Amino acid sequence: MHFLTAAVWVFLAAHIGVVTSELVCEDVNGVCVESDSGSRKVNVFPNGNHEEGLHFVLKEEDCARVEDVSSLLAPLFPELCQPKGCKLYNAIGQRWRSCADLPVLEEAMVFLVPEHRPFMWPSIEVGHAVTIDHIDDLIGQQNLTVETLSTSPRVFRLHNFFTAEEADMLVNHMLKNKDESERLKRSSVGATGYTVNSERTSENGFDNFSPVAMALKRRSFELLGFEEYKESWVDGLQVLRYNLSTAYNPHMDPFPVGEDQYHNYDSAGKGSNRYATILLYMTDVEEGGETVFPKAPAADGSMMPLAQAVDDVRERKLVEMFERRSWQERMVAECQHRLAVKPKKGDAILFYSQNPDGTVDENSLHGGCPVLSGTKWAANIWIWNGPRVGYTKLLEDGSLIDTLVPDEQPFVAVFHNMDVPGAELLWHDNWRDTDSFIGKIDIGKDLRVNTRS
């Protein structure tokens, strides 16, 4: 906790103080405690930060004269809130606009978020957990608990984020989906086209607009503190299947800055990129299949050197199905001796790919551990800090315009091959002058393609 400087106190003298105009009695464990109902006590922190806060009291009369209470608090952190101002959130991602939103008889932890940035959950400390009940479509169904697993990178376990029924619906929808652009395939790399990577042996497909996929995407936005759902700020829900021995090599979710002349990926500036990932677990896994963060210590705080970790998993006979010195063997070693989250059906993890200022969090490197027994089903929801590539127009100053028409409804295009042997469907990108393979169409057959995927 920090003390206010003399310069800040000069400003605050006219705006913030302690008042004693009206005292009420609060029953605390059978004891009557006097409390000041005309003021609001708060600890204010910068977005995503829980250590550099300021404690003070808001006057009732000052609360009454402003439309948004954040305007009273923004001067405390001028570098954060200038020039566009800040928004005020509580610790679980709910926006607070007036003093009436603040609790009267307790000291609230609040966060100032720059107007152009999304809210970021504070990690507090490993093991910190809070149960929330404001997610609309979960009210009355099950308790969602957010537990901190790591402070760097910022990783949280979402207990009971979705139901077993929703998990089964996602899996069944993917197994039945024959759309060439969405069905399960060997995991690939690249923003366009289809290129298999030898170090990504899982299978993946996309569920973009099924009812359960849309519900989970909207739920993710609400959990992350967004006030409205924006289809242009999220990728399609990616479903992954890991069979025995399959894995996904450690990687970063954000796209590299400067590699696309038609989109600005610089999220610390005027661009947009992947901001946060919610990874859903649709099955339990007998052994292996964890999500590993190689740059984060294990749950006990240890960071065993990699060579020693490899020797350990060899001695324990955990890697006999893999070749020695293979990337799979290395991954199993990392999964045993770094932060690794075990899948549990109905749970999810949330991790941030960006720091609060929009720079990339290099510690968010992560991967899917080899499955040593059983089958793993999971799904990615990638949320951006602005409109994503494909939904933007890049201006000369580097800023982006969201090109998605509000309330635009997706539709399916059906391509029919009447009599052309070996017909293939390609998508031509006029901006990049590139072709992407969609699928083959046999004679007399149809190929259905989602027009927004």
Sign, CA dihedral 256-383-252-174, equals negative
- Any idea what the Cα angle at residue 393 is, between residues 391 and 396, rounded to 5°? 155
Q: In degrees to the nearest 10, what's the CA dihedral of 318, 324, 328, 331?
A: 70
pLDDT digits (tens, 9 = 90+) for 411-448: 678 898 988 998 988 766 444 445 656 778 899 888 87
Query: Quick one: pLDDT at residue 36?
Result: 53
Distance (Å) of CA 144 to CA 138, 163, 392: 8, 11, 34
Q: Which amino acid is at 446?
A: D
Query: Quick one: pLDDT at residue 104?
Result: 81
Q: At what angle do helices 327-337 and 306-315 cross, to 10 degrees?
A: 100
Query: Quick one: pLDDT at residue 147?
Result: 99
Query: Quick one: pLDDT at residue 208?
Result: 87
Show the beta-strand stretches assigned E in 21-133.
23-28, 31-36, 39-46, 54-59, 86-90, 108-114, 129-132
Query: Quick one: pLDDT at residue 215?
Result: 96
Contact 37, 22 (CB under 8 A): yes
What three-state secondary structure class fits 180?
Answer: coil
Backbone angles phi, psi at 304, to 5 degrees: -60, 135
What three-state secondary structure class fits 154?
Answer: strand
- Any idea what the Cα angle at residue 29 is, between residues 23 and 34, rounded to 5°? 10
Query: Quick one: pLDDT at residue 23?
Result: 34
Which domains, and CATH codes, for the chain? 25-114 (3.10.20), 128-188+196-303+338-392 (2.60.120.620), 410-450 (no CATH)
Q: At what angle do helices 211-223 and 164-176 cross, to 10 degrees?
A: 130
Mean pLDDT by 10 residues, the chain (453 residues): 41 39 39 56 96 89 92 95 96 95 88 98 97 87 93 98 97 87 68 46 89 97 97 95 95 90 95 98 97 96 96 97 96 97 98 98 98 97 96 94 74 84 74 60 82 52
Nearest Cα residue to 46 out of 74, 72, 12, 4:
74
pLDDT digits (tens, 9 = 90+) for 56-97: 889 889 888 999 999 999 999 999 999 999 999 999 999 999
DSSP structure string for 61-83: HHHHT-S-THHHHGGGSHHHHTT
Cβ neighbourhood burial of 228 (10 Å; 0-12, 13-18, 19+):
exposed
Residue 347, both tokens: 């749970």
